[in-house]
Amino acid sequence: MKILILGAPGAGKGTQAKLIAEKYQLAHISTGDIFRSNIQGNTPLGQQAQQYMSQGLLVPDELTIALVKDYLETNHFENGYILDGFPRTIPQAESFDAYLASKQECMDYVIDIEIPDEFILDRMSGRRVCTKCGATYHIVNSPSKKEGICDTCGTALIQREDDQAETVKKRLEVYHAETQPLIDHYKGKAKYLPVDGTGSVEEVFASLNKMLGA
């Protein structure tokens, strides 16, 4: 089984991808993990990716595609996989379609975690993290006992730059402009599964299980 999971930043697709991978014994393939693995291994593709990432630039489509293809070619996934973070653009999707077609394969399901921008903005901008132990909180939904202080180790909590309102808004704009068109691209190419992402992690996972026939 081959699954693609889509969703805006903060929609919870990484969490759901891990849960699905564990339940159905699939490989959880994240482009971020592939990038890091190649960079740490100092592979030729990793060296190229590092040149862009070290400058804060997006890795170009061609290089991203090459990294994913290389990963799939050098690993065997007997039960299939779930793609998290790839493809992000139409050119990436078209190239990946052609790659799968050359192997007489295709995506089985495309999961789309639907969640309003306002909900994501509230969720991410309210998040606080501990830089020492990694604990996470939310100023409304899951606040620390003492404001601004980690319950576990007593370290001051911070708001990550990625979680600041203006940064979140910009990330959402990029998503709508570049990634959301993938929904239209994949409709008709695989079984499209839209799911309400505003519920709890457990509620969203239960909905996905029902859609996947569990």
Q: Which of 2, 123, 127, 128 is catalytic?
A: 127
| 88 has catalytic annotation | yes
Distance CA 83, CA 57 (A): 22
Distance CA 92, CA 18 (A): 23
Distance CA 71, CA 63 (A): 12
Q: Amino acid identity of 159?
A: Q
End-to-end CA distance of the chain: 13
- Mutual orientation of helices 44-53 and 61-74 as an angle, nearest 10°? 140
Q: Which of 2, 13, 123, 128 is catalytic?
A: 13
| 160 has catalytic annotation | yes
Q: Which of 18, 69, 171, 189 is catalytic?
A: 171
Q: Where does the chain have alpha helices with state H?
A: 13-24, 31-40, 44-53, 61-74, 90-102, 117-125, 165-174, 181-186, 201-211
Q: Are strands 191-196 and 27-30 parallel, antiparallel or unpaired?
A: unpaired
Q: Which of 88, 123, 170, 191 is catalytic?
A: 88
| 210 has catalytic annotation | no
Give, in order, the Cα–Cα distances in Å from 104 to each of 43, 66, 80.
Answer: 29, 19, 14
| 36 has catalytic annotation | no
Closest residue by Cα to residue 206 from 53, 13, 16, 10: 16
Q: Which of 23, 132, 160, 187 is catalytic?
A: 160
Catalytic residue numbers, as ranges: 13, 88, 127, 160, 171
